């Protein structure tokens, strides 16, 4: 049981690091639709982390907090966003490659299934990043013709006084 707890805690740490990396990346991606995609990804990761944290708590363990990284990507404007997407697509695949064999070897079917669902969502994130690199902005759906395309940018700060 302690091996399972240690594995879940390690997975939680890595998934938390990815979430924090994506939050920092969202601050560098200012195109409205692409930033919304990051918000969607962060929301899903928060849900995934709650699942893993609940499993850890059931086993009598605890989770650790982490600080958001100081993320800066090369370039400016669209060049920065491109670098962020490239980094995040690469890291998503690396995460799946690191964890899939370990999950496949787990004896606990319930927790293994939960982690497989998360890996599937990580691959969906990778697809989003690759589509953004290809110039797509309709990652979460297409706008109706009456609304037209969005060309806006998000504000650099959430609250303005």
pLDDT recorded at residue 154:
54
Q: What is the rounded average pLDDT for all residues in the chain?
A: 86
Question: Taking each helix axis from N to C terminus, what angle separates 109-133 and 32-58, rounded to the nearest 10 degrees?
Answer: 170
- Give mean pLDDT, residues 147-160: 54
Greater confidence, 37 or 156? 37
Instruction: Identify the sign of the CA torsion 90, 95, 96, 98.
Output: positive
Greater confidence, 26 or 158? 26
117, pLDDT greater than 70: yes
67, pLDDT greater than 60: yes
For the chain, which residues make up each domain, given as ranges? Answer: 2-65+73-133
CATH of domain 2-65+73-133: 1.20.1260.10
d(CA 32, CA 71): 20
149, pLDDT greater than 70: no
Which residues, 6+ apart, have CB-to-CB distance to 35 below 8 Å?
Answer: 26, 29, 153, 154
């Amino acid at each position: 049981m302690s091996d399972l707890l240690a594995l879940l805690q390690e997975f939680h740490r890595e998934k938390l690091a990815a979430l924090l990396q994506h939050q920092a990346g969202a601050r560098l991606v200012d195109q409205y639709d692409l930033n919304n995609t990051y918000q969607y990804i962060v929301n899903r990761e928060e849900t995934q982390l709650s699942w893993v944290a609940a499993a850890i708590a059931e086993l009598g363990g605890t989770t650790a907090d982490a600080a958001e990284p100081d993320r800066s990507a090369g370039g400016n404007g669209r060049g920065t966003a491109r670098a962020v997407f490239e980094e995040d697509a690469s890291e998503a695949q690396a995460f799946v490659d690191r964890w899939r064999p370990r999950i496949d070897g787990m004896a606990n079917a319930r927790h293994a299934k939960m982690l497989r669902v998360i890996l599937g969502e990580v691959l969906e994130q990778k697809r989003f990043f690759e589509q953004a690199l290809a110039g797509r902005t309709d990652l979460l759906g297409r706008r109706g013709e009456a609304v037209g395309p969005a060309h806006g940018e998000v504000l650099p700060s959430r609250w303005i006084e």
